[in-house]
Structures are given as C-alpha cells and as structure tokens.
Amino acid sequence: MRFTRRSFIAAATSGMVALAGCLGDDEATISLLASSFDPRVVWIGVGETVLFEHESGAHTVTLFHEDNDVIQRSPVTATAFDEEINSGSIDQPFDTEGIHGIFCRPHEQAGMACAVVVGDYDDEEPGLATPQEELPGAMQDTLASINREILEGEPANGGGGTGPY
C-alpha cells in the first residue's frame, strides 16, 4: 500500500503537534557545505523553524520569491528572506504552508538549492514548478532533483530527522 504524501502529513500532523513542541526549537537542520545544502529537502509543520548551520564557504539563504527579485518558487504569501551566512547558524521560521524553494546567491551557478516543505502542499504550487529555463543548468538540475525528492516523499540522503516525522 502506498500512503500519499498528503494523507501521511495529515495523519502525522494531527497526532504530532503537541509532541513537536517538546522536541526543541528547530524541527530540522540543513547544513551549508562548500557549495551545497545537506539535506536538500526537509519536511516540517506550519510555524516550525529550520536551523541553517554553516559548515564551510560563504553563502546566502535566499527564498525563491519575487520580493527578492528572483523567480518565484515559494508560496506567494510567504515572507521573503535573504540572509548572508558565513559562520554560525540561522533560525528561520516558516509560517506559511507549502513548498519553499531556497538557494544560495554566490553558488547559484553551482546549483546550490534546497526546499523546505511546510505542512501540506499542492501539486500546482510554484515550489514544484518545472525548473525555469532562465536558471543556470546546474540549478535546473538541482531543482528537478528536489522536485522528484518531494514527490517521492523520502529524503534521498536518508539523514535522521529529515523525513516526515
């Protein structure tokens, strides 16, 4: 039998909201490596936060949102964030449901991107669009891979704590 992503999240969310509050402030961690995010996809609930943790390199954590003068690959109503991170970490809250495509400005050509899936999502939303042709080739490849990962509902690199609860 195959759980659809949507029904799984609905089931998980209804039972896990109270518990999630006891697990700490960050529901997921994404590391910034030399020119990539790891993992590239995490699933969290509405109102939860992701810890972006610097490991090496000089990066930004930039939402694919038109308010950042970049293409839209996030909910239109999401608050656009665009943060430099060269050390330490950033606690980024996600208050809007849906898929949030994120990239690094210095490593756009290298295809440095990730996605935070917040709660439920719609197959038609911007965060799951076919990668735009104006993007660098490596970025299109990363985004296509992220789309597949989201639709499959499993973190490709299998890191603990990055799956759907």
CA–CA distance from 52 to each of 28, 83, 85 (Å)?
9, 10, 9
Q: Which of 50, 104, 116, 150 binds Cu ion (CB under 5 A)?
A: 104
Contact status: 40 vs Cu ion (CB under 5 A): no
Question: 């999630």: which residue's tokens?
Answer: 20
H-helix segments, the chain = 5-20, 137-152
Contact criterion met (CB below 8 Å) for 51 and 89: yes
Interface stretch with Cu ion, choices 12-20, 70-78, 107-115, 124-132 (CB under 5 A): 107-115
Judged by CB under 5 A, the number of residues near Cu ion is 5
Q: Which of 71, 107, 115, 142 binds Cu ion (CB under 5 A)?
A: 107
CA–CA distance, 165 with 156 (Å, rounded to integer): 15
Q: Which is nearer to Cu ion, 9 or 50 (CB)?
A: 50
Interface ranges with Cu ion (CB under 5 A): 59, 104, 106-107, 112
